[in-house]
Amino acid sequence: MAIWLNNDTRLLVQGITGKEGGFHAIGCKEYGTQVVAGVTPGKGGQDFEGIPVFDSVHDARAKTEANATMIFVPPPFAADAIMEAADAGIELIVAITEGIPVRDMIKVKAFMEDKDCRLIGPNCPGLITPGQAKIGIMPGHIHKPGRIGVISRSGTLTYEAVWQLSNLDLGQSTCVGIGGDPVNGTSFIDVLSAFAEDDDTDGVIVIGEIGGSAEEDAAAWVKENYDRPVVGFIAGRTAPPGRRMGHAGAIVSGGKGTAEAKMEAMRDAGIRVVESPAELGSTMAAALAG
């Protein structure tokens, strides 16, 4: 089983005629995703590698019954692209774009409050249900169908965890990159809640980083609600206070958001915390073995 993404997902790509949007649209299609449309204003009626291009998300959805979108729109226009997709009724919105202004994302969050859709990202690698479909930039060949869920703020560390799991013959149910921006759409708790309802997910790897309180909140949720194995890692232990490291949200400010505090909260919740990302796969294997 899987969460949110499967063989039936019908994907459109906003920004498909751009270099990155086109490249990753083809990558998703080659993996097996149903890529049914692209959207680039002013280029409606054209064709991109056999994929019809429309001027708007409304037109694309009406003509193709797309229910998901992957956004590769430049930062100044990406918030409008997200809101256009939500307004068109797209159920799953995956914003890959990095560098969207925080003020724009606050506007997006308010706009989506009464919309029946899910935003993943921005500034994320996307999500993948191995063997079925992917929406994003992750290397599909390292994934293997199975029963371990992966949630991460870091794309690169997601790939590391997946590579270890696959080499240990531990396939993945769905892997979700939630992104590293301070304002995003889907939280650790959102994904954990979905995995909790999936009987075919036996355990979850949670990869966080410094900054914010999302990991502490997730740990508290796990302690009260989740009884399957959870393995955790926090990136950024050596980051100096006040200096952003990598993602826009990865900053320790006012004494909050430190790696130590997050790791302590995870351990208190019964999560198996590893000191190095190299231990993620083996620790999950040991947890499943009892």
Can you tell me which residue has the tokens 């914003």? Answer: 95
Catalytic residue among 24, 58, 141, 247: 247
Q: Are strands 34-39 and 51-54 parallel, antiparallel or unpaired?
A: parallel
DSSP codes, 194-243 = HHHT-TT--EEEEEEESSSSHHHHHHHHHHHH--S-EEEEEE-TTPPTT-
Residues 64 and 66: their CA atoms lie apart, in Å, by: 5
Q: At what angle do helices 75-87 and 57-64 cross, to 10 degrees?
A: 40
* Omega within 30 of 0 (cis) for the link into 277: no
Catalytic, 247? Answer yes
Angle at 69 between CA 65 and CA 74, to 5 degrees: 140
Strand boundaries in 123-186, DSSP class E: 126-129, 133-136, 145-152, 172-177
Enumerate the active-site residues: 247
